[in-house]
């Protein structure tokens, strides 16, 4: 299939495919007329790349998964390098979550402090004093 067809099936652009090709993530095969030529295996590679990118993986982080698929595995995430990449991404996400939790707690604390400082003062308490009766 041609580059435009592959791009449409993968939900990306021909420009992105050329970029993946320049990075070595996508093969650079040409047909007898010099046009880029792709097959179903290339579509599998692209779908793997796109899913990982949706999860926040950078293009270089997708390389172990692509290589795993190219090695003939039915899934790109069964190879040791892919598993190591998953572990590294999970550690990165855990660190970001911890940092965001700390920031959220600080913002909450500042909000509570600001609300307490700007709360209206309570009205003075009214104390009823009965009138005194002279005897």
> Does the residue 126 lie in any domain?
no
> Does the residue 88 lie in any domain?
yes
> Does the residue 81 lie in any domain?
yes
Residue 36 β-bridge partners: 30
pLDDT tens track for 14-46: 999 999 999 999 988 898 998 899 999 999 999
CATH of the domain at 49: 1.10.1660.10
> Does the residue 67 lie in any domain?
yes
Environment class of 21 (CB within 10 Å of its CB; exposed 0-12, middle 13-18, buried 19+): middle
Eight-state DSSP code of residue 73: -
Whether the per-residue pLDDT at 135 is higher than 70: the answer is no
Q: What is d(CA 7, CA 81) in angstroms, rounded to the nearest whole number?
A: 27
Residue 30 β-bridge partners: 36
Expressed as residue numbers, the domain containing 102 is 3-114
61 CB neighbour count, 10 Å cutoff? 19
> Does the residue 54 lie in any domain?
yes
**pLDDT given for residue 133 in this prediction:** 74
Number of separate domains in the chain: 1
């Amino acid at each position: 299939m041609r580059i435009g067809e592959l791009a449409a099936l993968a939900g990306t652009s021909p420009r992105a495919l050329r970029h993946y090709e320049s990075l070595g993530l996508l093969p650079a095969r040409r047909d007898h007329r010099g046009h880029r030529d792709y097959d179903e295996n290339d579509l599998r590679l692209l779908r793997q790349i796109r899913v990982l990118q949706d999860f926040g993986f950078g293009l270089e982080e997708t390389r172990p998964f692509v290589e795993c698929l190219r090695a003939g595995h039915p899934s790109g995430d069964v190879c040791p390098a892919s598993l190591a990449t998953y572990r590294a991404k999970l550690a990165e996400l855990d660190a970001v979550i911890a940092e965001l939790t700390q920031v959220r707690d600080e913002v909450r604390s500042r909000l509570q402090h600001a609300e307490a400082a700007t709360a209206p003062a309570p009205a003075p308490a009214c104390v009823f004093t009965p009138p005194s009766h002279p005897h």
